[in-house]
Amino acid sequence: MQSTMRTRIIIAIVCLLNGIVHAAPPTYPESVPTPTQINVAYGTHERQVLDFWMAPSASATQPAPLVFYIHGGSWQMGSKEIIRGCVDVKALLEAGISVVGINYRYVSQAKAAGITPPVKAPLNDAARALQFVRSKALQWNIDSTRIAATGASAGGCSSLWLAYHDDMADPSNIDPIARQSTRLFCAAVRVPQTSLDPQQMKDWLTRIGYGGHAFNVSNNEFLSSRHKLLPWIKAYSPYAHVSADDPPVAIYYDKNLKDDLGAHSPQFAFHLQKRCQELDLFCEVRYAEFNGYRQYEATRYLIKTLKGPALKNAPKKYDVSAKNHRLPAFKKGSRVLFIGDSITDMNRGRNERDRNHYLGHSFVFLIAGKLGVDLPKAQLDFYNRGISGNTIAQLKARWQKDVIAMRPDLLTILIGTNDVGKKVKPHDFENDYRTILSASRKMNPKLKIVLLDPFVLQSGSLKNERSWNSRRSATDQLRPIVAKLAKDFDAVHIKTQDLFDTAAQSSSPDYWLWDGIHPLPQGHELITRHWLRAVSARWPQETLATQTHQPTQAILTCPSGHLPWKNLSEAHIDKSVDGDLKTKWCYVHHRRPMQWQVQLAAPRVVSGYSFTSANDVPKRDPKEWKWQGSSDGVNWTLLDHRKNQLPFPTRLSKRSYTFENTKAYTFYRLTLLANQGDGHYQFAEIELEGINNITKP
């Protein structure tokens, strides 16, 4: 009897294994059109293949945008053939958008190959596949500047990692695919994990139920192993890469996940959204509104965005070529001044009548050359005031002569490496830096300011471990000071250290900084490209798209994606502008900032607003909020910020506020940051001074 049972078990196992070995490959459902090309190899592994659908309207003269799909399955299972659960391929093709779906190596295959951490394989495969697709742009009629990523669960995490990661292009690589950009135009994902940090998961979800397998540890050991895994966690968590020049993202969830605290919890998205709002990045989080939303919501967003006007930061972060960079806006005759130490100086001539040498040969020279060619009518006036060996204190000593008296329109500062060398205390560095910035703002409240981090690489004399560790540690102490000052003085902040750290991953540090401090020509070119991208993103020229896509009426929206309790129509956002005090706008805030935004038919100067309280529940009255204005709906200027406001004295009472503003904006946005203690915000009416033609969304 035991022998017979043992035989049956063996036969069953053999049959099972035989079924696995001979299992039919996955196929697409009938609703998904047949791909134009199937199983195109982008690498040497059997899983490194992709399928491509070319939009019928795509041509050499009219290349199509593209949606780049990454399947889910915890990086342990799944395939490109499950794309229907995320987007509607047929609808995308009909809208003139091509599609790619990829397979990638599983973490189990990565472990077998000795790849550490295992998650490196699927994420690097996604980046490589994206670069491969860009390399096929001419052959496949793809608009390489408009590529969006989509995916669910782990595929959503991979998509967000691509969206927020610095450009992984390696311009000096002999492999033409590796030279392609990995930047995205936008992303639309379902139920993603936005962080792989166990400490963040514990803080956000109260428990750790996901992620250990990505780093070859169990979930039970994940938190205790964090200190050893932290460099990898930071390298592969989307949240850790978010910065102010990233593309817009939309995230979608099923309604039944609202209170979920597992791997698909909306808390992942809400914390990412909060971080994005701190940087004025678009991050929409929404729940299902109707059946079929899984495909419809993401598909609708992708079509709207990919076929719409150009967006902030699209499509790349570090890959800013001379022929493709966006152009910043300058008034004619603007003075553009750069100041710092030897990195800025670079042997500049002190006699500015000697036009051969007056700008030196640093990034200042390169920027002046590019903008001089691209903006000849602007007649820009460039000045280099770098002096070799200077510290922040020495800048302060000559600030009146070299900056205030020059009255620049745009000021760029790169300082700190000599402060590190001379062991200047961070507190003194910050005080002197704040003093010169305050004087600059006083001189010109509208002055455009750009601050660059000090930077260092392990090359030259800094290859000595002791010297390197000391220099890098001291440099890293100054970087958060620069970031804080950039925020305090509304300046563009360029993370130069991050830029060179990324560059050094593809080529040796000596290739970029010959002595660990001073850039070679390619290093100055990297600074130049990133400066152009950051300045162009912050102060862009008006494009034809922004001039021609104006509504005939003022349009009201809720960009933060909030909805009323139980989706009650009588509490929708349009009730805030209907002129009827018997109605109200009442939305659940989910413990995250909520937004009210209007797009006007034409730019208008607004310098006042009013709130009318709703009929009940004073705890729903606002306590903290801010107003911002924008010309393009992408780049925002703070107009008013109120804190610790008291509840309205009575129900249905009106309060008016004013702020200083002389600029006409097309977009005005209210962000509600706190109320008096309830789970909802509500208003009977919200009014902008002089605006009375706002229509429902």
The CATH number given to whatever domain includes residue 515 is 3.40.50.1110
* Collapsed DSSP state (helix, strand, coil) of residue 47: coil
**Residue recorded with tokens 């009629």:** 141
At which of 538, 568, 593 does a domain end? Answer: 538
In a domain, 10, yes or no: no
In a domain, 318, yes or no: no
Residues 530 and 565 in one domain: no
In a domain, 233, yes or no: yes
DSSP string, 147-160: EEEEEETHHHHHHH
Q: Name which of 23-32, 215-224, 257-266, 362-371 the model is least confident about.
A: 257-266
Which residue would you say has higher pLDDT here, 560 or 651?
651
The residues near 44 (Cβ < 8 Å, ≥ 6 apart) are: none
Residues 173 and 70 in one domain: yes
In a domain, 3, yes or no: no
Residues 420 and 523 in one domain: yes
Residues 203 and 106 in one domain: yes
At which of 508, 538, 568 does a domain end? Answer: 538
**Residue recorded with tokens 């960079």:** 325
Most confident of 363-377, 499-513, 579-593: 363-377
Token representation of residue 367: 């920027």
Q: Which domain holds residue 81?
A: 37-306
Residue 585, φ and ψ in degrees, nearest 5: -90, 120
- Choose among 404, 336, 363, 654: nearest CA to 531: 363
Task: Give the span between the Cα atoms of 135 and 466, in whole angstroms.
Answer: 42
In a domain, 440, yes or no: yes
Residues 94 and 124 in one domain: yes
- Contact between residue 474 and residue 420 where contact means Cβ atoms under 8 Å apart: yes
Residues 509 and 564 in one domain: no
pLDDT at res. 433: 97
* Mean pLDDT (whole number) for 624-633: 90
Residues 281 and 385 in one domain: no
**Residue recorded with tokens 């969206």:** 163
In a domain, 585, yes or no: yes
- Contact between residue 298 and residue 262 where contact means Cβ atoms under 8 Å apart: no
pLDDT of residue 227 exceeding 50:
yes
Q: How confident is the model at residue 652 (pLDDT cuts 50, 70, 90)?
A: very high
pLDDT tens for 325-339 read 557 888 888 999 999
Q: How confident is the model at residue 543 (pLDDT cuts 50, 70, 90)?
A: very low
At which of 306, 327, 348 does a domain end? Answer: 306
Q: What is the enclosing helix (H) or strand (E) of 392? A: helix 392-397
Task: Say whether the peptide bond before residue 315 is cis (omega within 30 degrees of 0).
Answer: yes
Residues 200 and 93 in one domain: yes
| CATH number for 245 | 3.40.50.1820
Residues 375 and 423 in one domain: yes
Kindly state the greatest CA–CA separation across the chain: 104
Amino acid at 465: E
Task: Give the span between the Cα atoms of 648 and 486, in whole angstroms.
Answer: 35
- Domain tally, the chain: 3
pLDDT at res. 235: 93
Residues 534 and 554 in one domain: no
Token representation of residue 355: 């036009």
In a domain, 493, yes or no: yes
**Residue recorded with tokens 């929708």:** 572
- Choose among 346, 333, 467, 350: nearest CA to 408: 333
Task: Give the span between the Cα atoms of 374 and 372, in whole angstroms.
Answer: 6
Residues 225 and 201 in one domain: yes
Residues 296 and 368 in one domain: no
| CATH number for 619 | 2.60.120.260
User: Would you put residue 233 in left (φ > 0), alpha (ψ -120 to 50) or beta?
Assistant: alpha
Q: What is the percent of the chain with per-residue pLDDT over 70, rounded to a whole number?
A: 87
In a domain, 288, yes or no: yes
The residues near 18 (Cβ < 8 Å, ≥ 6 apart) are: none
Which residue would you say has higher pLDDT here, 611 or 377?
611
